[in-house]
Structure 1
Amino acid sequence: MLHQSLTVPAVSRAEVIAAFSYALDLTEGQPAGHSIRSCWIGMEIGRIIGLSSAEMGDLYYTLLLKDLGCSSNAARICELYEADDRAFKQGYKTVGTSLAATLHFVFSKTARGRPLRQRAAAIGNILRNGGAIAQEMIVSRCTRGADIARTLRFSDAVCDGIYHLDEHWDGSGRPERRQSEAIPLFSRIALLAQVVDVFHVHAGPSAALDEARRRSGVWLDPALVRALEQASAAPLFWTALSSPTIESRVVRLAPHETERHLDEEYLDCIADAFGSVIDAKSPFTAGHSTRVGKLSERMAAGFGMDRGRTRWLRRAAVLHDIGKLGVSSTILEKPGSLDEQEWSEMRAHAVHTRAILGRIGALAGLADVAAAHHERLDGAGYPLALGASAISRETRIITACDHYDALVSDRPYRAALSQSEALRIMTDAVGTAIDGDCLELLKRSVDA
């Protein structure tokens, strides 16, 4: 069996948050490292305009966590536009600022490939209710992001910066139609940094600068665009964005006076916060990560594991589905059976989980345990088709808890099953997918 060290190495908050930001990139359909690169861009702008050390600290976490609420509107985008939420979000960020460009994008993407009548109905709904729809989704995203930032004990300045990310300099943005300097400075910098990274990745430095200039005075603060021009004149500015060391560079940018090594309590807090991000991806998974975490912790204690080990396992259980942030909501919300391509994307969520958690020094030991929750004792699981001898007890616990909670919860393709029905199905899978000892303890745990 695989066994992981439970010793938590000294690690900074910046290192952990930077690593988790890759999960937010997945949800937004952005190339890996978008949040990291946006942080580099925004911090250079902050340096040019002379922000204080304390302000730079708040700006730093606003930039890394600007998309903290991004999973909350994924299912709604899928429902309203009948489109892949990740592709829709990615494409929308390259659309120009004019109403004509926005409408062309929305109409070209809404219900594409659907029967004409179905497509016309979806587009008609957007035409009639587009403003209300946009307001609803942005308020949901911004509120969720700011609320999670508060649970992570960030300052009001960081929370406000995240909440007002989608405000525009000319007052055309949301959620409050704020204008010019009424928009928090960190929000203005974060939006500019986001635009620059999207267009830099899309078409290079010149395109990024041209787009920032085009949006100056419309979406973007003209003074900040001038600061960007000054910052980007340094040779290191663009080469750093393409460097394989960009993440370590950004971690080193964290102002020391706002930094600290993490204790066990705060690591729990981070795991729970990103568990909330995971569960917000679909209305069918609300609370799933928390429930699997609590039940896994209870079972670990039942197996006689000490407090440190049960705490460690709970984090792995809470984060086991973080890779689902990279799965389209068209798949997660599908009421029928998945086709082969959809199953391939769904199975990839375990690979994403391994990649995200493997980046985090303090949590890297969780990666193999959490990512293996769809492995089976008979070797027919995924992503690695491990055999029973390679599947740890910790993973077997998470697998049993995940399986149970999924069965007793509503899913797009069926209603929730009763406890007795769920346990009967799991009993039939003992020795193939479910560990017998885990099932017996699960039965006692859910009755406790």
Structure 2
Amino acid sequence: MQLAEPAHFSPVVAGLRFSELTDDLNFKRDFKLVGDSLGMWCSFVLQHTGLKAGLVERFRSVIYIFREGREISQDLIQTRCSRGADIARQLRFPEPVALGIYSLDEHWNGGGRPDHLQGEAIPVYARIALLAQVSDVFHTAGGREAALQEVRLRSGQWFDPALVRAFEQVAQDRDFWTQLSAPELIQSVLALEPGRYVVPLDEDYLDDIGVAFGQIVDSKSPYTSGHSARVALYTDLIGETMGFSVERRRWLKRGALLHDVGKLGVSNSVLDKAGTLNSEEWEAVRLHAELTESILSRITAFHELARVAGAHHERLDGKGYPRGLGAEATTMETRIITTADIFDAITASRPYRGPTPIPQALEIMDKTVGTALDPACYAALQRAVAQVPQA
């Protein structure tokens, strides 16, 4: 049997391959369960590759990952680490925090990635975060003893031995483990934040937050690359055409950048599925709108935007989601984001098709005016697109 392979390796191709073949939410969690042994790596690949594909395609996929896995993972981790550090800087985090994020996958013995740093050369924030991630995964899967056993086992390999000793001291307190499962865990974590580190929010910082989190969402899958930024652009063009003030457009643009933040809680295996979704998968897709509202509503500065952005899949005829709101309950700001989102969804490439030309996209959208789309927003989109030079 001849296996199809790319002539030259590309991180984008690798990203697409992993996106198509794995459930990214479980993948990220379970990857921390994998040690350094070949047997554990093989088991991990078999458990996470091509689970929804046919037997032949799954066999091809597994062989591909076995043969190209190291190069693929190196490039993906390099990209993820670099992007994470850049986003941290954009959010105005201190440079040590950005470097800690960049080095999250480095191991004490030098066997990690992306730069194979060793020992004290690894930023201390990264060393602490890696130990915390792995211990949490094993604690969730097997309880306190499983977490302690795995941390001790990886001491001197993945983890700084001094940090392992500190962790063992903390682990003697039974209340520590109880708190990890407590409903008020988030509040407990927030309470640890020193008051002197509170950063005042200005308009520029709010813009930076919107852009940064839009990039985080868009980087979840190669198929969504640039989606939030494009929706924000189309939203701004529609708002300008409709006569919105500069201040209101700026505010609404943030909502467009953040409208899909709830997708972070939905698996790529669902979001990027080319075929028909089953009922369970469709419920997962619908959930992202609710998650968007839930996440944004926790931030005072985004409280009004939470409802506007979270309703971007509602329809004028009440057949949308998550609440089935009708025209009377849907704001004009939401209708603008909805129009921009649908326009980009049609004109951008998807797993199952290439991009649709703008004239054809507008024809498709025209059929839903008055039911899904607001007539005024659609007319503004038409006028805005007509003013943009076509390539």
Whole-angstrom distance in 2 between the partners of 1:322 and 1:75: 24
Question: 2:263 matched to 1:324?
Answer: yes
- Using the alignment, how far apart are the partners of 1:78 and 1:93 within structure 2? 20
Structure 1 unaligned spans of 5+: 1-71
Distance 1:285 1:96 in 2: 31
Per-residue CA deviation, residues 12-31 of structure 1 (Å, 9 max, x unaligned), is xxxxxxxxxxxxxxxxxxxx
Q: What is residue 5 of structure 2 aligned with on the other side?
A: none
- 8 Å contact kept, 1:78–1:329: no
- 2:194 and 2:29 map into 1 onto residues whose CA distance is 31
What are the within-5 Å matches in structure 2 for residues 148-297 of structure 1? Answer: 148-297=87-236
Name the structure 1 match of 2:47: 108
After superposition, residues 240-389 of structure 1 pair within 5 angstroms as 240-389=179-328
Aligned to 2:377: 438
**Aligned partners of 1:345, 1:441: CA distance in 2, in Å?**
32
- Label 1:437 to 1:115 Cα distance change in 2 as closer, same or farther (>3 A): closer
Contact residue 20 and residue 269 of structure 2 kept, 8 A: no
For the residues of structure 2 that align with 1:404 and 1:226, how far apart are their CA atoms? 55
- Partner SS for 2:104: coil
Task: Tell me the secondary structure at the aligned position of residue 166 of structure 1.
Answer: coil
> What are the equivalent positions in structure 2 for 1:78-89 lying under 5 Å apart?
79=18, 82-89=21-28
Q: Give the whole-Å Cα distance in 1 for the aligned partners of 2:123 and 2:282.
A: 43
Give the deviation of 1:374 after TM superposition: 0.9
Residues 348-357 or 325-334, more deviating: 325-334
Letter of the 2:353 counterpart: R
> 2-side partners of 1:160 and 1:401: how far apart?
36
Contact 1:376 1:388 (C-alpha < 8 Å) held by counterparts: yes
1:177, distance to aligned residue in structure 2 (A): 1.4
Name the structure 2 match of 1:414.
Answer: 353
- How far 1:73 sits from its partner (Å)? 8.9
Deviation at 1:252, TM superposition (A): 2.9
What is the rounded CA distance, in whole Å, between the counterparts of 1:356 and 1:75 in structure 2? 30
Distance 1:81 1:172, change over 3 A: farther
Greater mean deviation of Cα atoms: 88-97 or 208-217: 88-97
The amino acid of 1:286's aligned partner reads: S
Q: Which amino acid aligns with 1:164?
A: S
**C-alpha deviations, 1:21-75, integer Å up to 9, x for none?**
xxxxxxxxxxxxxxxxxxxxxxxxxxxxxxxxxxxxxxxxxxxxxxxxxxx9998
**Do the aligned partners of 1:275 and 1:319 also contact (CA within 8 Å) in 2?**
yes
For residues 128 and 29 of structure 2, the distance between their equivalents in structure 1, rounded to whole angstroms, comes to: 20
Aligned-partner Cα distance in 1 for 2:212–2:236: 17
- The normalised TM-score by structure 2 is 0.89
Question: How far apart, in 2, do the equivalents of 1:75 and 1:340 lie?
Answer: 29
Q: TM-score, normalised by structure 1?
A: 0.79
- Cα offset, 1:90, TM superposition: 2.1
Q: CA deviation at 1:379?
A: 1.0
Change (3 A) 1:243 1:280: same
The Cα RMSD (Å) is 2.2
Shift of 1:284: 2.5
Asked if 2 retains the 8 angstrom alpha-carbon contact of 1:75 and 1:281, the reply is: no
Summarize the alignment of residues 102-141 of structure 1 with structure 2, pairs less than 5 Å apart: 102-112=41-51, 114-141=53-80
Q: What secondary structure sits across from 1:363 in the alignment?
A: helix
Q: CA deviation at 1:78?
A: 5.2
Residue 94 of structure 1 is matched in structure 2 by: 33
AA aligned to 1:382 is Y
* 2:86 pairs with 1:147: yes
The count of aligned residue pairs is 377
CA distance in 2, matches of 1:405, 1:110: 30
SS at match of 1:354: helix
User: How far has the Cα of 1:415 moved from its partner?
Assistant: 2.0
Task: Please give the secondary structure, in 1, of the residue aligned with 2:300.
Answer: coil
1:201-239 per-residue CA deviation (whole Å, 9 max, x = no partner) reads: 222222222221111111111100111122233454223
Deviation (angstroms), 1:172: 1.4
AA aligned opposite 2:376? D
Give me the whole-angstrom Cα distance separating, in 2, the residues matched to 1:80 and 1:439. 33
Counterpart of 1:219, as a letter, is W
> How far 1:393 moved relative to its partner?
0.7
Within-5 A mapping of 1:17-56: none
The separation in 2 between residues aligned to 1:376 and 1:98, in whole angstroms, is: 52
* Aligned equivalents of 1:262, 1:301: Cα separation in 2: 25
Contact 2:20 2:272 in 1 (8 A): no
CA distance in structure 2 between the partners assigned to 1:119 and 1:192 by the alignment: 33
Residues 75 and 272 of structure 1, relative CA distance in 2, 3 Å threshold: farther
Aligned AA (1:407): I
**What's the % identity of the aligned pairs?**
50
